[in-house]
A = this chain, B = another copy of it.
Amino acid sequence: MSGDHGHGPSTPASAELESIKRPLAYGPVQGDLALVEEALAEASEIDSSPLAGMLSLVLTAGGKRLRPALVLLAGQFGSYPVRKLTLLAAAIELLHTASLVHDDVIDGAELRRGHPTVNTCYRNSTTVMLGDYLFAHSAYLVTQTDNIRVVSLFARTLMFMARGEIGQDMSAYSLSQEPISYLRHIGDKTASLFATATEGGSILAGCPQEHVAALRHYGYNLGMAFQIVDDILDFNGDEWELGKPAGSDLEQGTLTLPALLYLRRQPGENRISTFLAERHPEALAEAIAAVRGSGVLMEAQQVAQKYCRRALRALEILPPTPARHTLAELTDHVLQRQS
């Protein structure tokens, strides 16, 4: 029942209360995250008033700022050029926000982090363009690092993210998907941005190439675990904590790891295939209950743990600094998070 790193039970729903209450701590870079907040606030201070209002709506909606923290933590293994790191950190958070905005258009989602989504306040077309503006602004921030290698890495990451979303979208409602294709899609759409956070931060800090590679590897595997836990929470999480209704992936026809593991256990007709055929709310509720009761959430959590072990192994060649300690701790936070 216990997780691999001695951090308590392995399913999020049963995680110990104190770990839920403990805020995410980013160790040596905690203070400098205020600089990232400043950069994000600046990004919404533009003269065009309707756009400014929309930007402040999406940029002040909160969030754990995990990706920016990863940039700063990776920078700690080199010269820690705080201004350039702040620019990259803000750019990565903007890129992440842009992808959420475009996701929300697509899903017709009404809540994100408990706040109304942009597309419930504005029409769809405006929301698409707001996402484009955020993409552009993120790219502009990253060019201000003056590091063409990082800019290029950033642009390729956006390609991967879009490719992952398209791949996931094209396979919606398809019962013949394999878990391997799910893993490829989340690698593109989520883990690639985590990897770019740690790789980009270490490049800006002038780290030696083997440290850059190790930090990239850490980020990628942490991102895989993060997305798998996210997909577990969509079945198992508290709606109030999540700020969105449960089962929203399945409702959209998106088959995430728990659903695919359930389908492997229940070949032929089952609650998920029934829902995908009928698409009624009652069938959705029954499918969610079937997944919860089947034990596949635990199985999915073990896959997330496997990625966290890989992330921890990647850290081994790095010097044992407070930043490395914090990165190691983050694997626990990712596995235990409730929202």
A232 to B137, CA, bound (A): 32
**A interface, size bucket:** 35 or more
User: Cβ of A126: which chain B residues have Cβ within 8 Å of it?
Assistant: 166, 169-170
User: Cβ of A143: which chain B residues have Cβ within 8 Å of it?
Assistant: 148, 151-152, 155
Known: A102-B129, A128-B128, A167-B48. A139 touches B162 (CB 8 A): no
Contact flags A95-135 to B (C-beta < 8 A → 1, else 0): 00001001001110000000000000001111011111101
User: Cβ of A99: which chain B residues have Cβ within 8 Å of it?
Assistant: 132
A interface, over-half SS:
helix
Contact between chains at A155 and B139 (CB < 8 Å): yes
A135 to B140, CA, bound (A): 13
Contact between chains at A128 and B106 (CB < 8 Å): yes
Q: Which 6 A-B pairs have the closest CB atoms?
A: A136-B158, A106-B125, A133-B162, A139-B155, A143-B152, A140-B155
Known: A99-B132, A136-B155. 18 other contacts (CB 8 A): A51-B166, A102-B132, A106-B124, A123-B169, A128-B128, A129-B165, A129-B166, A129-B169, A132-B162, A133-B159, A133-B162, A133-B163, A136-B157, A139-B139, A143-B152, A143-B155, A148-B148, A151-B151
